[in-house]
Chain A
């Protein structure tokens, strides 16, 4: 059938093919370093942001850097916290995770007078021993009941001092895990209250609760006020937290909101006998540079247990809540299998799920999804609460239970345990 558009179609098709080829050629000639025009919805840009915010040159000229606790020089730094200068000149250093930490402070070489700093540390384990050291000796910074410590210090021109922290651990200790708060910070406050009770009762039992891991989606819309709300709740907890963002925390591209409030999303720490590695999978995959660093992040470093946490579960089963890049998820599972990780914790699916035996080659991994931090769970009775894992370094065993924190209106947990392997925790 004849149609007046026929010749135009043929021309348009040819032009389309030529344009495609030209685009491919043009793409070769416009190369820039990562994130020269950043979109913080991209994982690699957040890697840059979390490392930028792990050091600070203060208005007084002092250089503050979070460090690997094992290093003794401040030549470089590591994204293990967030350093910022507040309006009143106070230096705020938020430690990214429970366990050992180190912060170096160096005065400018060309300073003509001593540099005085008022430093506020946050997210510090109340049971930790924190010291200020330098060439003039070592002093202990007294602890409080909260996760904050404050100190005043003076740096001579060119002087380097260190703030270091660590805590003594019994062979048995506990770790809480939760994810997906999103639109329900009120319910999360109830969970936080239960965590505080649990921390006190666990300490009394001689099995301390050493930290809370939040596997992403602290907010619904990545807004600063939402992060502030969660930050205030976490600030009242008597235990330190380790956080990594979820897809709802990172999708505003103009600012790295999560990193500016809480610091890194990719970080690892040794907590008692446990190696905890958190990966920022908010974009549906980890940044390629982080993927290359996974062996370093999950290196046990002498720890008995290895736990990896992220928002998107690398094995999603039928939840539909997987990674955008399944190839990257498979590569991560392989690394975890090679290291024989004891546990993978994730969120994203607003549910409590336990995948006990995920075959990865000739190894099986265990993954628990704990998207029960308050986010909407649909009609039916929601299951809110947190997972509590108990590790025994001497016996090399792990036990777990789910602390259900029902919403207002329920006197008792309204749900039966999700599985025999996930019983309800006894009331604290």
Chain B
């Protein structure tokens, strides 16, 4: 059974991934699938899963199940009036097994991929059709970035579903740590230069609204570079080694950085209060996330004439939406206007000369999150002492505020950075407190690699929400 499945898996391209059910082949017996009796007791069923093929979880729950494996000697099933392609379509559009209410992850991902492709096409039309002389460039590039992330997320989500990561909502799914320390480093090193090691303290406590209507998250960070960034002048005119250096390029500038940000993120379920939930493609949320980010940089030329520069990014009207494509996969996008304030000091002074606001480029973010359960059940049936859950995050940030822009060939100066992150939550069974470990990479104007260690505070509403 493995060989044809392996062949099928290798042979399927993106479209195949999206259009073929994860574990069902038309020409072979299906693997085990977890279904639920009306009593709620999980049972393993074998064969083409009626639950998977059903649009209605109630139907699947009432379908008799069997534990008898199908073999080659199994008699042929009764002739069906439905064609194989119709069956494939039905299976492709089926609910995720064992999940109520019904969520159709595969059509949702296909729709997201389509939306991403359409967004890319619209963006290309705006940029190459209308050109960038009519100020459409910024919205168009924003659209291209969000659409691209939607497409990459949908494909990654489909691959994740393909390897069995679709399923019921994890009882302790990851959210940002209540408090964490993050460290990152941006290389590569150059002789006699130094790159900053960055450390920041982040907080993100959650307040869940009654009746699961949403949640409010306060978030903020304070941090900066632990060491100054040092640059050298590589011009070939310099041929002698300055004191304290290994190479001939003299040190010309040191830079320090302080980073502060604060905001809140209000998420309410959509189409609440019109409907409690989308009947076909998963739930959605509306979001409002105003925030302010401040960066202070000191440029030190090695004399007493250092200059302080303060950049403030104000995002007062950032709105967004989250789409739960499956209980374990989410696509989130934000966008809004941006206002910048730029202040500076005179050389050698710390007094800032402040002025008015600049209208900045549009701000946007897009994220695709995939929950990954990491703790298998013990073979001896005993309960594990720690529950581990993971989350893969792919992101695009349409802002180069932190000096990171993703460039490709001549496409320079348009895009923001790409983000790839992994987080693991470790919670001792029964403990109200959990730890979170993470690693991330940010691609743009080089690569930044980072680690995050956080703690998750007790959530008094977790039990109530989990039971619901």
The listed residue (A21, A34, A251, A322) touching B400 by CB distance below 8 A is A322
Contact yes or no, A324 B444, CB < 8 A: yes
Q: Pick out which of these stretches binds chain B: A97-105, A193-201, A358-366, A403-411.
A: A358-366
Q: Pick out which of these stretches binds chain A: B13-21, B149-157, B188-196, B314-322.
A: B188-196
- Smallest distance from the beta carbon of A217 to chain B beta carbons, Å? 9
Contact yes or no, B135 A360, CB < 8 A: no
The listed residue (A5, A317, A362, A363) touching B164 by CB distance below 8 A is A5
Q: Does B26 contact A (CB under 8 A)?
A: no
Q: Pick out which of these stretches binds chain A: B111-119, B232-240, B261-269.
A: B232-240
Contact yes or no, B253 A9, CB < 8 A: no
Q: How far is the CA of A375 from the CA of B252 in the complex (A)?
A: 37
Q: Pick out which of these stretches binds chain A: B199-207, B215-223, B353-361.
A: B353-361
Q: Does A114 contact B (CB under 8 A)?
A: no
Q: What is the number of residues of chain B that contact chain A, defined by CB distance less than 8 Å?
A: 91
Q: Pick out which of these stretches binds chain A: B70-78, B408-416, B457-465.
A: B408-416
Q: Does A140 contact B (CB under 8 A)?
A: no
Q: How far is the CA of A119 from the CA of B258 in the complex (A)?
A: 53
Q: Does A421 contact B (CB under 8 A)?
A: no
Chain B, Cβ-Cβ closest to A383: B133
Assign chain A's interface to a size class: 35 or more
Q: How far is the CA of A28 from the CA of B192 in the complex (A)?
A: 12
Q: Does A262 contact B (CB under 8 A)?
A: no
Contacts of A337 in B (CB 8 A): 344
- Smallest distance from the beta carbon of A243 to chain B beta carbons, Å? 17
- Smallest distance from the beta carbon of A357 to chain B beta carbons, Å? 9
Q: Does A284 contact B (CB under 8 A)?
A: yes
Q: Pick out which of these stretches binds chain A: B49-57, B280-288, B374-382.
A: B374-382
Chain A 1-30, CB-CB to B under 8 Å as 1, else 0, gives 111011101100100110011011001101
Contact yes or no, B403 A27, CB < 8 A: no
Q: Does A379 contact B (CB under 8 A)?
A: yes
Contact yes or no, A52 B401, CB < 8 A: no
Q: Does A48 contact B (CB under 8 A)?
A: yes
Chain A 307-333, CB-CB to B under 8 Å as 1, else 0, gives 000001001111111111111101101
Given contacts A9-B372, A48-B236, A359-B356, whether A312 and B342 have CB atoms under 8 Å apart is: no
Contact yes or no, A331 B297, CB < 8 A: yes
Q: Does A241 contact B (CB under 8 A)?
A: no
The dominant DSSP class at the B interface is: loop
Contacts of A24 in B (CB 8 A): 185, 449
Contact yes or no, A327 B356, CB < 8 A: no
Contact yes or no, B164 A51, CB < 8 A: no
Given contacts A324-B412, A379-B130, whether A47 and B135 have CB atoms under 8 Å apart is: no
Contacts of A359 in B (CB 8 A): 342, 355-358
Contacts of A363 in B (CB 8 A): 353, 355
The listed residue (A288, A348, A371) touching B231 by CB distance below 8 A is A288
Contact yes or no, A319 B135, CB < 8 A: yes
Q: Does A31 contact B (CB under 8 A)?
A: yes
Contacts of B445 in A (CB 8 A): 284-285, 324-325
Contact yes or no, B187 A16, CB < 8 A: no
Q: Does A33 contact B (CB under 8 A)?
A: yes
Chain B, Cβ-Cβ closest to A288: B231
Q: Does A248 contact B (CB under 8 A)?
A: yes
Q: How far is the CA of A132 from the CA of B167 in the complex (A)?
A: 83
Contact yes or no, B138 A320, CB < 8 A: yes
Contact yes or no, A284 B407, CB < 8 A: yes
The listed residue (A220, A361, A380) touching B344 by CB distance below 8 A is A361
Q: How far is the CA of A325 from the CA of B401 in the complex (A)?
A: 7
Chain B, Cβ-Cβ closest to A222: B410
- Smallest distance from the beta carbon of A168 to chain B beta carbons, Å? 31
Most buried by A among B134, B137, B388: B137
Q: How far is the CA of A324 from the CA of B404 in the complex (A)?
A: 6
- Smallest distance from the beta carbon of B69 to chain A beta carbons, Å? 17
Q: How far is the CA of A331 from the CA of B142 in the complex (A)?
A: 25
Most buried by A among B130, B132, B357, B405: B132
Most buried by B among A295, A325, A327: A327
Contacts of B131 in A (CB 8 A): 350, 376-380
- Smallest distance from the beta carbon of B345 to chain A beta carbons, Å? 9
Q: Does A187 contact B (CB under 8 A)?
A: no
Listed A/B pairs (23) with beta-carbon separation below 8 Å: A2-B377, A6-B374, A7-B376, A52-B236, A288-B231, A289-B232, A292-B301, A293-B233, A315-B358, A318-B138, A321-B414, A325-B403, A327-B295, A338-B346, A338-B347, A359-B355, A359-B357, A361-B342, A361-B353, A362-B353, A364-B355, A378-B129, A379-B129
Chain B, Cβ-Cβ closest to A28: B189
- Smallest distance from the beta carbon of A80 to chain B beta carbons, Å? 13
A residues 14-65 in Cβ contact with B at 8 Å: 16-17, 20-21, 23-24, 27-28, 30-35, 44, 47-48, 51-52
